[in-house]
Amino acid sequence: MPTNFHFLLFIIIILLPDSIFLKISLASEGESLVSDWRPIKNLSDTKVVDVGKFAVARQNFEAKSRLFFDELVYGEMKSRTGTDYNLTIAARDDGNTDDDNEPRNYVAIVSDRQFQDFMHLVSFRGPV
Ligand SMILES: *[C@@H]1O[C@H](CO)[C@@H](O)[C@H](O)[C@H]1NC(C)=O
Ligand SMILES: *[C@@H]1O[C@H](CO)[C@@H](O)[C@H](O)[C@H]1NC(C)=O
């Protein structure tokens, strides 16, 4: 019987898509180890733009900086208990005394827990 059992297990492993094992291992880990970030297709989406503006405003508050949101350059999101955003934001730095104060890119991670009405700036770095 053990031989048949192992053969059966072997067949199951061969036939199941990887994603099922991924989900099982993620469920046991509790937290996602594998990146499940998805690119945001519409960077003009008002919700996503608002998240970007929030990140800049929050950063200005925390770092006493004077960045001005210009536009979103790139964005990814992933959903778990809420939604996490990884946004590349073009912003002008009012403290930058260069003649051509061109927007530069900053990378912000924001976590949004809508059920708690709670948005949190996880990290903000740049210019990159
Ligand atoms: C992207 O979002 C903006 C603002 O919500 C909307 O006006 C526009 O039609 C959207 N574009 C696409 C391609 O869905
Ligand atoms: C966020 O996106 C930037 C730019 O694509 C990337 O360099 C960075 O590793 C990403 N951060 C996370 C936490 O995924």
For residues 121 and 80, membership in a common domain is answered with yes
For residues 50 and 71, membership in a common domain is answered with yes
Q: Which of 71, 94, 89, 101 is CA-nearest to residue 127?
A: 89
For residues 14 and 42, membership in a common domain is answered with no
For residues 78 and 99, membership in a common domain is answered with yes
Can you give the residue range of the structural domain that contains 47?
Answer: 38-125
Cα 46 to Cα 18, 51, 53, 71, 108: the distances in Å are 35, 9, 10, 12, 17
For residues 101 and 44, membership in a common domain is answered with yes
For residues 7 and 20, membership in a common domain is answered with yes
For residues 28 and 44, membership in a common domain is answered with no
pTM of this structure: 0.75
Q: How far is the CA of 106 from the centre of ligand 1 (A)?
A: 23
Per residue in 51-103, pLDDT (tens digit) is 999 999 999 999 999 999 999 999 999 987 889 999 999 999 998 887 788 99
Q: How far is the CA of 115 from the centre of ligand 2 (A)?
A: 25
Per residue in 7-62, pLDDT (tens digit) is 665 655 556 555 444 444 444 444 445 568 999 999 999 999 999 999 999 999 99
User: Structure tokens of 4?
Assistant: 């048949």
- Give the per-residue pLDDT at 29: 46
Q: Cβ(86)–Cβ(106) under 8 Å?
A: no
- Give the per-residue pLDDT at 121: 97
Q: What is the CATH number of the domain that holds 83?
A: 3.10.450.10
Q: How far is the CA of 107 from the centre of ligand 2 (A)?
A: 7
Q: Which of 94, 96, 93, 74 is CA-nearest to residue 85?
A: 74
Q: Cβ(126)–Cβ(106) under 8 Å?
A: yes
Q: Is 42 in the pocket of ligand 1 (CB under 6 A)?
A: yes
For residues 17 and 74, membership in a common domain is answered with no
For residues 49 and 81, membership in a common domain is answered with yes
> Structurally, how many domains does the chain consist of?
2
- Give the per-residue pLDDT at 22: 47
User: Structure tokens of 1?
Assistant: 């019987």
